[in-house]
């Protein structure tokens, strides 16, 4: 389950932000997770609580914002929605679709005190 290492990386980002911005507690973490990112939101929720235990973010609420997958079809020159990696273009059926969005996870927002 790679979500545990991702949750540990989120904690590292939080701790670095706390040092540079001088806050002492995190109340809420908003993660943006792309549908093509291979991150399972339910697994991330489980791992988040475990990774934050005993830290500055212990007990913090996790909000997940899912973003849709997007791609560019070279065959029909269209920006298209993608539900999964390696699927054909919904317009022309071609497989020359490169991912342009929805393939990442990022810390979007922190609510701190």
Domains in the chain: how many in total? Answer: 1
pTM attached to this predicted model: 0.86
Q: CATH no. for residue 61? A: 3.30.2320.80
Res 1: pLDDT: 57
Q: What percent of the chain has pLDDT over 90?
A: 98
Please, are residues 77 and 33 in contact by the beta-carbon 8 Å criterion? no
Name the pairing type of β-strands 26-34 and 78-82.
unpaired
Q: Domain range spanning residue 49?
A: 3-112
The string of pLDDT tens digits covering residues 45-86 is 999 999 999 999 999 999 999 999 999 999 999 999 999 999
In 3D space, the residue among 111, 11, 104 whose CA is nearest the CA of residue 66 turns out to be 104
Q: Rounded to the nearest 5 degrees, what angle is found at the Cα of 107, between the Cα atoms of 59 and 30?
A: 50
């Amino acid at each position: 389950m790679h979500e545990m290492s991702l949750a540990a990386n989120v904690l590292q980002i939080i701790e670095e932000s706390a040092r540079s911005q001088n806050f002492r507690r995190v109340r809420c973490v908003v993660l943006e997770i792309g549908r093509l990112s291979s991150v399972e939101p339910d697994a991330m929720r489980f791992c988040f609580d475990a990774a934050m235990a005993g830290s500055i973010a212990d007990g913090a609420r996790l909000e997940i914002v899912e973003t849709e997958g997007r791609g560019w079809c070279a065959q029909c020159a269209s920006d298209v929605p993608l539900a999964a990696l390696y699927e054909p273009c919904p317009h022309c059926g071609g497989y020359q679709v490169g991912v342009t969005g929805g393939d990442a996870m990022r810390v979007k927002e922190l609510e701190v005190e």
